[in-house]
Amino acid sequence: MTSTASNLLDGKALAASIRAELAQRIASLAAAGRPQPGLATVLVGDDPASHVYVRNKRRACDEVGMANFHVELPADAGQAAVLAEVQRLNQDPRVHGILVQLPLPKNAGYDENEVLAAIDPAKDADGFHPLNQGALMQGRPAPVPCTPKGVMRLIDHSGMKLKGCNAVVVGRSNIVGKPLALLLLARHCTVTLCHSRTTDLAAEIGRGDVVVAAVGVAQLVKGAWIKPGAVVIDVGINRNQAGKLVGDVEFEAAQPRAGWITPVPGGVGPMTIAMLLENTLENLS
């Protein structure tokens, strides 16, 4: 497929339509006398990016009619204080989803894995609890991590038939790359999972009918590597030298070769938030 603006996979628009659908479902619950779904957000420290992410998530709650219970702790609150908040939210019947914004402050002695494991798996909004990650591996129903779930929705929105496709994921984090590889595998893709020790990234990407970049290195994936017609999903959020927000894919060069491609911003980011709301609502059902 050749370059046109119409090969943009617009995550902002898709997320808006999902939020509208969620708002309707929440209104129907209210009409039926069912409880209002509630998301708890826990923010530790003063990392500016984390504050922006949490603010956007809270705004999205308001927009769809979901309750938000927000907890803010200082960077030096300590592991015990964070665990105590999580336990309190686990017990709160108004809360159906709990999100602890990561990363927790560095060099402050936090154990993120212990915090994630302390969340009631039935209230896990992010799908990071080890039981839910295990369920994903075994193909059992459970909350699915929001970013990979949003990526799958974007791929489906492109119309790409996944069965039998070569899918190449770059990045193997527990929150994006690894769960995404499992989701693609469950949809019968042949999955290649690349990382910093991959010897020939260009060759691996060149085989991808679907390419997902989740690295955090500005424009690492060159446009010339993209197989013509591939669906390209850019998860990365980086600032280039001019201070502009860019993804992990060299967008201008990749767009003419791609069948479909997500922009940064306006691609995966809004979908992540929509999936967070959806996970919380599904925990209530």
Q: Compute and round to an integer the Cα radius of gyration of the chain.
A: 19
Catalytic residue among 47, 101, 178, 227: 101
Count the residues of the shown chain that bind ligand NDP, applying the rule CB under 6 A.
Answer: 26
Is residue 268 a contact residue for ligand NDP (CB under 6 A)? yes
Which class for 270: exposed (0-12), middle (13-18), buried (19 or more C-beta within 10 A)? Answer: buried
Residue 37 vs 267, nearer CB to ligand NDP: 267
Segment 131-190, which members bind ligand NDP (CB under 6 A)?
A: 147, 170-173, 175-177
Which of these segments, 84-92, 180-188, 192-200, 225-233, binds ligand NDP (CB under 6 A)? 192-200
Segment 216-235, which members bind ligand NDP (CB under 6 A)?
A: 216-217, 220, 235
**Long-range CB contact pairs, 48-53, < 8 A, 24+:** 50/101, 50/103, 53/101
Return d(Cα 100, Cα 93) in angstroms, integer. 18
Is residue 244 a contact residue for ligand NDP (CB under 6 A)? no
Least distance to ligand NDP, CB of residue 154, Å: 11
Least distance to ligand NDP, CB of residue 162, Å: 21
Strand 260-261: give its sheet, edge to edge: 190-194, 166-170, 210-213, 231-234, 260-261
Catalytic residue among 47, 57, 219, 255: 57
Taking CA atoms, 276 is separated from 18, 148, 168, 226, in Å, by 11, 11, 24, 30
Cis ω for the linkage preceding 103 (within 30 of 0): yes
126 belongs to the catalytic site: yes
Residue 259 vs 269, nearer CB to ligand NDP: 269
Buried b vs exposed e over 183-216: b needs ≥16 C-beta within 10 Å? Answer: bbeebebebbbbeeebeebeebbbebbbbbbbbe
Site string for ligand NDP, 76-105 (x = CB under 6 A): ------------------------------
156 belongs to the catalytic site: no
User: Which sequence positions are flagged as catalytic?
Assistant: 57, 101, 126
Contact residues toward ligand NDP (CB under 6 A) are: 147, 170-173, 175-177, 194-198, 201, 214-217, 220, 235-238, 268-269, 272
